[in-house]
Every structure is written in C-alpha cells, then in structure tokens.
Chain A
Amino acid sequence: MNKNCILETNAINKYFEKPVRFHVLKDISLCLHRGEFVSIMGKSGCGKSTLLYILSTMDTNYDGQLIIDGQDVTHLTRPQLAGIRNEKIGFVFQFHYLLPEFSVLKNVMLPALKLGRKSPAEVREDALNRLEMLDIKGQAHKKASMLSGGQKQRVAIARALINNPKIIMGDEPTGNLDSKNSENVFSILQQLSADHQLSLLIVTHDLDMARRTDRIIQMEDGAIV
C-alpha cells in the first residue's frame, strides 16, 4: 500500500462472460497520487470505461485489489461502497446526468443530504457556494431539465464537489459538449486540480485535452502500455 496514492489497484483482472468469455482487463496496477490530474486514453473497446467503473466501486465483479484513500475496499458490501462513493468520490459523466424534475440547487444538495453530516441549511449554503464557484448560481432555482448542456455539466461538477470528495472521476466529461463549452468545463477541472489539490481521473479520447493533464495512462486491449 503506497501512502502517496489516493487510489491504488493491484493486478485487477476482469472478464465478460457474455456472449463469450472475454478478458477485458489484464493485470491493471496503477496509482493515482494525491492532487494529481490523470487521464486514461485508449481506443474505444480497450476497457478504459470498464476500468473507471471498477475504480468508482460501482462495478464489483473483478479479481484483484482496490484501495481508496488507504482503505482496502475490495470486499466491502454494496451499502458500504455506496457510502464510500457518497463521501469520497465525485462523478461527472458524459451525459450530464442530473435528476430532471429537481431544481438545480436540489440536484447539488442531494449527495450531501444523503451524507447527513450537515444541517439542510448548511448544505444549501454549501451548494450555493459551489454553484457560484462554477458561475452558475443564477440558475439555482430552475429545474435541471431547463438548462443547456454546458450548464448541466457545470451543475454536475458542482454536485460532484458538494461533499468535498478526495477524487473526481469523469467518463468523457466533455464528450458531449461543443468546443467552447468543453474548453470551459475542462479548465474548471484543471483549476480544481491546481487550486484545491483534488485528485482527478478522467477517461477521454481527446488527445489535446489529455496532453494538458499531469499524466496520461494509455490503454490497449485491456492492458496499460
């Protein structure tokens, strides 16, 4: 166990059973340092998203060891893993993924309300601060479904930040945005890494973006090269 790693894997292997047995991930061992901004690159089908969902604790069907913030989470139960996601990991997906019927503010507040460490009033305050930081406070009381794509993605980042997570994970977070908005979102992520010492792990196939991160992990056929 490496103290400097916020996220560490040892020899992770994964197989798809259907339609035929297929070795998706081969002996993946990696380390994400504290405060590091890492991108995972590779052709589509090389297993980079599969790896990300294992690292995110949502996929538990693998062999090997996963350590998050010094804790071996490999054999934890699903509710325990949900707790870890809630507290330590923030997500940004390619397709915004907000709850459309809830207000923007409520979307950001929900993970913190679930964590339950702060009173609703404090959570509300925190959420407004995050929205302000992402320059979208003006939309706080709109319904999430009323926003544009770039705005939604910024709200998703605000939600990812609400519980002060250790790691932000993104699955092609700029993949669905036009160049102006994706530049905007990417620079926000960069700023988070630089100013707030957050660890970021981004799956992307945009080489220009990847080059601006601290380190690129290149994958091919389920292995790191």
Chain B
Amino acid sequence: MKELRLIVDISRTHLVSRLKQTTVAALGVMFGIGTYIVMLSFMTGLNQLLDGLVLNRTPHIQIYSESKPSAVQPVEMYAPFADDRHIIHSIKPDNQLERIHNALHLLDELRRHHQVEGATPQAVCKVFYLGGANKFNGLLNGIEVGEEMRLFNFRDYIVAGDVTTLLTRPNSILIGSGVAAKLSLSVGDRVQVSGDNGTVFSLTIGGIFQSGLIEVDEVQSYVSLRTAQQILGEGRNYISRIHVKLTDIDDAVPLAQYIGRNYPVTALDIKAANAQFDTGSDIRTLITYAVSITLLIVAGFGIYNILNMFIYEKMNDIAILKATGFTGQDVQWMFISQALTIGVVGGLLGLLIGYVGSVIIDRTPFVTEALPTVDTYPVNFAPMYYGIGIVFAISSTFLAGYLPARKAKKIDPVEVIRGR
C-alpha cells in the first residue's frame, strides 16, 4: 500500500511535469469516448424511434381470415389413391368469408389469456370517397377507439381534431391526411363515402389522421366499429381482424402458432410481419460500434506513442530509480499508472462531453412530415453506454501503457549510465 502510494506519487510528478503531452493524450481518449457515447446514443435513439414507429402501432399478432388453397385436397383423402402420385392442375383458393368465424368468442378467449395485454376487434370495409365526379379508393377501419388508444398509441397519429368524437358522435370519421388534402376537407366538414353495395353514407370529420406513411394516409380512415358494420350492412358480430398486444413480445411466435392451429383463422406474428426491421437495426448498431471502436483504437495508439517517447526521454530517471533500489516491477507500474490516469481522466471527460453532446442533439429541433410525434432528434440516454465507455477507456489505455511499461521494466540501468 505504502509502495503503491509512492509509485503513484512519482507518476503524478511525471504527468504534471509534462502537462501538455498528458493533456493531448487525455484529449485523444476524451474525443474517442465522447464520440462513442454521442454516436451510440443518437443511433440507438434513432433505432428506437424507427422501431417504435412500427412496433407501437403494429400488433404483436394479427388475426384474420385468409382465402388460400386447402392444405389437403380431396383427392389426397381418398383411400384407394393413397399410394398413387397426385397431379392437380389449377388449384383455386378455398372459399372463405372475410369475417372471422365466431369472432366474439375468440376475442373473449384472447382477452382472458394470461400472456395477452389486450385485443381489439376491427371491421374493415372497402369504400370510395366521393369528391364531385371522382371516386377515390379507400379503406374504412372500424375500431374500438378506447382500446386502440390504450394498446397502440392511436392518439399519437391524430394531427387535428379530437379522437374521442368516434365515441361521442355517431357517423363521425377520422380521415387520412392524404384523403383530406385531396378532397380539401378539414375538421367539421362532411365526407361522402359509398360502400361496396353502392349505398352512400355521409360522415362528419372528427379528426385528421397521419401515420407518416403516404400510401396509408391516402387511403385509410377510421370510424367506430359499429359505423363500419352499418356501412357493410352487417351485424354486431361482424369482425374481420383482431389485433393482439402481448405483455411480452417474445411470446408472439408461439402464441400465433397456437391460435393458427386451434381456430379457423390466420394468425400473423410481428416477427414474420417485420422481419426486415430487426436486420436494419442490427446493422446500424454494428456500424456504430465499428466506428466508435476505431476512434478508441486511434486514441489508444496516441497514448502508446506518447508513453513510448516519454520512456526514451526518461531513460536516465529509470536508470537512477533502478540504481537506488526500485525494481523493474515498480518502474513498470509507474508507467502503467500514468497510462491509467490518462485513461480515467480522458474517459470521464469523454463521458461528460458525450453527455453534453447528447443533450444538445436531444434539444435540436427535428420536424418532419413523416413523424408527426417527433419534434427533436431522438437520443437514447442508456447508462449502459456510459459504463461500456469508461470500461473501454480504461482497458484500452491499460493495454496502450502496458507495452511501453514492459520495455521500461527491462531497461538495463548499467547500459544507460555507462552510455553517457
């Protein structure tokens, strides 16, 4: 302990006596760590935003009824042909209703399931928006607006008007911003839609909805579940989709498989629906790490260089210390502790710079059509990055100091003293 204090004391004198070089080395580490923090916080912030954009509004499991060819064709069931090869031409999809069979029962089951946070029914109907002589393709989603807000942050996408009009006023609609622009409509106006069967309905615009995806906003609008069922001319049990949110997203795949097996429906889990999304996030994170680590390695070489030069300058000192009874080990630790000091000081400053930089980015205005819920750049202030940053700063400077320090340990004092 006493020895360690002495060695640290000598190191400190060395560091202070060439403050300029020490500062340069520490600044190198500082910028390395600072950039690492800023880049990673910004990148992961962006990733989270983009993920959130999809994940917040994408149900973990979507349940609907899909028309597809029967898995088992009649000829395969016929026992006398069992051993023969079957060749069937021109298979047609099985005739399926758009509605989910016995949907209210399934909805009830799902809502009681322990892994399920909530489930919302939807009735989708294809319509035309009528604007003078023009007809525009449209899609009306009948929703239970309260549950949609609770589970899928539905309110975030309403840019004008009030989402609760769906609850309070019959025949009101939350219209897509693209549709509203095309038909020059605003909140309070009425819009005519015609259903599949030609009946025309007049709906009051309670709000304008913008998802950020143009192809959605130009087509889609929301009405209450009951209104959609009326436009379709169907009863209260007509439900064409069920969206499920789970307490743990990792349960999506097995639960979707379970539902698909046990009910006459198709259940699509979020992983299958958004497979490309994970890949994008992973690659962005990978690039961030590669750049940051490169920066830190460059900083490490800086420290290595400075310590190496310093050891050449300090040959005499090393020889004297050894001649007066300091061991090679002592000398080695002197230099390692100098490197570590640079690492710790530079690292801590780097964390500070990184934090300040992140705060600045976090406060920078960022307004975009595509993301109505965002007004500044997204930053992820995860403490983990700060932990990794300081650990990396210390370990890389230790390594950068270790090699020169080992050389100092091996210096033969006789050669130095006689060399004069």
Q: How far is the CA of A98 from the CA of B324 in the complex (A)?
A: 11
Contact with B along A54-93 (1 / 0, CB 8 A): 0010110000000000000000001100110111000101
Contact yes or no, A99 B414, CB < 8 A: no
* List of 7 A-B pairs having minimum Cβ-Cβ separation, nearest first: A86-B325, A101-B17, A82-B327, A111-B324, A79-B327, A85-B325, A53-B414
Kindly state the separation between the CA atoms of A49 and B417 in the bound complex, as whole angstroms. Answer: 11
- List A residues 83-117 near B (Cβ within 8 Å): 83, 85-87, 91, 93-95, 97-102, 106, 110-111, 113-116
A94, B420: Cβ atoms closer than 8 Å? yes
> A171 an interface residue at 8 Å Cβ cutoff?
yes
Residues from chain A with a CB closer than 8 A to the CB of B413 are 58
Residues of A within 8 A of B320 (CB): 97-99
Closest chain A CB from B189 CB (angstroms): 82
Report the separation of the CA atoms of residues A87 and B325 in the bound assembly, to the nearest whole angstrom. Answer: 8
Q: What residues of chain A lie closer than 8 Å to B274, measured between beta carbons?
A: none
A154: interface (CB < 8 Å): no
A130 within 8 Å of B (CB atoms): no
A93: contacting residue among B13, B317, B417, CB under 8 A: B417
B364 sits at the interface (CB 8 A): no
Nearest Cβ in chain B — how far from A76, in angstroms? 12
On whether the beta carbons of B325 and A49 are closer than 8 Å, the reply is no
Interface flag for A159 (CB, 8 Å): yes
With both chains docked as a complex, state the minimum distance between the C-beta of B215 and any C-beta of chain A, in angstroms.
71
Which residue of B3, B13, B319, B328 contacts A114 across the interface (Cβ within 8 Å)?
B3
Contact indicator B6/A85 (Cβ below 8 Å)? no
B414 and A83 contacting across the interface, CB-CB below 8 Å = no
Closest A residue to B330 by beta carbon equals A114
Return chain A residues, CB-CB under 8 Å to B3.
Answer: 114, 116
- With both beta carbons as reference points, the residue of chain A lying nearest to B331 in the complex is identified as A82
- For residue B329, CB closer than 8 A to chain A, the reply is yes
Question: Can you show 16 pairs from A to B with CB atoms below 8 A apart?
Answer: A49-B418, A56-B323, A79-B329, A82-B325, A82-B327, A85-B323, A91-B324, A93-B323, A94-B420, A97-B316, A97-B417, A99-B317, A110-B10, A110-B324, A111-B325, A116-B2
Interface residue range, chain B: 20 to 34
| Contact A95 B330, CB 8 Å, known A85-B325, A101-B17 | no
B13–A91 touching, CB < 8 Å: no
A86-B325, A95-B420 provided; 8 other pairs, C-beta below 8 A?
A: A53-B414, A58-B323, A87-B325, A97-B320, A113-B2, A114-B324, A115-B325, A159-B324
Tell me if A78 and B325 are in contact (CB < 8 A): no
What's the nearest-Cβ distance from chain A to residue B334, in Å?
A: 12
Which listed residue (B13, B322, B329, B420) contacts A101, Cβ 8 A?
Answer: B13
Q: Which residue of B lies closest to A86 (CB)?
A: B325
Q: Chain A interface: which size bin?
A: 20 to 34
Q: Which of A83, A87, A91 has the most CB of B within 10 A?
A: A91
Chain A residues within 8 Å of B316, by CB: 97
CA distance A62 to B324 in the complex (A): 21
B284-319 toward A: CB 8 Å interface, digit per residue (1/0)? 000000000000000000000000000000001101
Considering the complex, give the chain A residue whose CB is closest to the CB of B18: A101
Bound state CA distance, A113 and B321, in angstroms?
12
**B327–A53 touching, CB < 8 Å:** no
Cα–Cα, bound, A115→B327 (Å): 11
The answer to the question of B101 belonging to the interface, with a C-beta cut-off of 8 Å to chain A, is no
A116: chain B residues at CB < 8 Å are: 2-3, 6
Residues of B within 8 A of A114 (CB): 3, 6, 324-326, 330
Which residues of B (362-420) have their CB < 8 Å from a CB of A? 412-414, 417-418, 420
Shortest CB–CB separation between residue B11 and chain A, in angstroms? Answer: 11
Q: How far is the CB of B47 from chain A (nearest CB, A)?
A: 49
A49 to B420, CA, bound (A): 13
Question: When A94-B420, A101-B14, A113-B6 are in contact, do A58 and B322 touch as well, CB less than 8 Å?
Answer: yes
Q: Which residues of B contact A171 (CB under 8 A)?
A: 417
Contact between chains at B325 and A59 (CB < 8 Å) = no
CA distance A82 to B323 in the complex (A): 8
Within 8 A of A (CB), among B1-45: 2-3, 6, 10, 13-14, 17
Instruction: Name the A residues within 8 Å of B420 (CB-CB).
Output: 94-95
- Which residues between 167 and 205 of chain A lie within 8 Å of chain B, taking CB atoms? 171
Tell me, in angstroms, the Cα distance from A85 to B319 when the chains sit together: 13
Given the known A-B contacts A98-B320, A99-B320, are A82 and B417 also in contact in the complex, defined by CB atoms under 8 Å?
A: no
Closest to A145 in B: B17
Measured between alpha carbons, how far is A114 from B324 in the docked complex, in Å? Answer: 9
With the chains together, A113 CA to B1 CA distance in Å?
Answer: 12
Asked whether, in the complex, the Cβ of B317 is within 8 Å of the Cβ of A58, the reply is: no
- Measured CB to CB, the closest approach of chain B to A7, in angstroms, equals 17
The residues of B that contact A110 with a CB separation of less than 8 Å are 6, 10, 321, 324
1/0 per residue, CB under 8 A from B, across A140-173: the answer is 0000000000000000000100000000000100
Q: Which residues of B contact A115 (CB under 8 A)?
A: 325
Q: Which residues of A contact B417 (CB under 8 A)?
A: 53, 93, 97, 171
Instruction: Compute how far the CA of A53 lies from the CA of B419 in the bound complex, rounded to whole angstroms.
Output: 13
Q: How far is the CB of A18 from chain B (nearest CB, A)?
A: 12
B414 CB contacts on chain A under 8 angstroms? 53, 58-59
Contacting residues, chain A, for B322 (C-beta < 8 A): 58, 82
